[in-house]
Structure 1
């Protein structure tokens, strides 16, 4: 166990600044380009539903399961009081989870703890797999988890570092776009049961307030992630 822990927390050398910058550009392109976003959005949904599930457990709600759908939507089923702090925090967690996970990943990559980041993600996916209640959800988690496991076992350290940076930037940027899409749907009246509207029914604040709150947290996470990762890069003239 001591050797395993030492391997997990071993710090890798920081990447060059151009690696961090190109990783950010690659992730931004994936999120901004509609076809690539449609293919990759399911990864953000995994983080979204995982956030709901984690906070539901922490707030002592009974977690019944998670469903991930082929249209990149998802739902987390819980039982408990239909009102109160537990329900409010559970509803809040979804849109905040990708950005906050990206920020935590930025801190780990800035510290060079890429191996710890990879295995933490793998553990997160395994826990979600135990809670999945539909076949497509199980399939997408197995494929994602298999890719992460192969990366950890067979990819050299430099490749792991690059992929980790792209994944972290993807979560940071990918945490913003669903919020913008949410507001667009709300304006057209196509999302009456969104997290923001559920929160509006649970509290005295309007749904637009929560959309703005989600957006502020997502934007702050992007800024915080950049502040962590860019100064940590190997820049000879600094």
Structure 2
């Protein structure tokens, strides 16, 4: 059975545990071809305890070079580590840019949907009386099936608020609200011409129940 309490580590965390720079750890992970067990936000990579054991063993068993060769190898190693770190940052920036492109497309799609909705709402006032009556008849037919389960108060606010009508519903259980809204949204009066801002849900209590 898999251990659900397994801890995962980022390059930065493994570098801190091993007492090395993050650039050095990034270089080692790449050269060792350690595969992350999962990807996090912004393309952050996470490694399991086995990967941590391997990198700890590497630094522990790493031979100490002579003084002369150490100066040359350390300089070259640092340059390579920094270059690898730069490449890693570039990869993260690329991932972020790709995510921004996706978000921009989502915003454009939502903006276009809002425009289309506004057009449809403006067209609703040009419908004939018989067309509007048919829409409301279908709408009301669904509502009448909830008679005795839901009670409503309809308030008009034309010229007084952002929306022309307000509907207050009462029921013994909120499940009734879910059912009637889910059913009505498929009718044209709601799906095409309806515009809903937000829903406020509460519990009505008498003084004794407070």
TM-score of Structure 1 vs Structure 2, range by shorter chain: under 0.3
Greater Rg by CA: 2
The answer to which structure, 1 or 2, has the higher relative contact order (CA under 8 A, 6+ apart) is 1
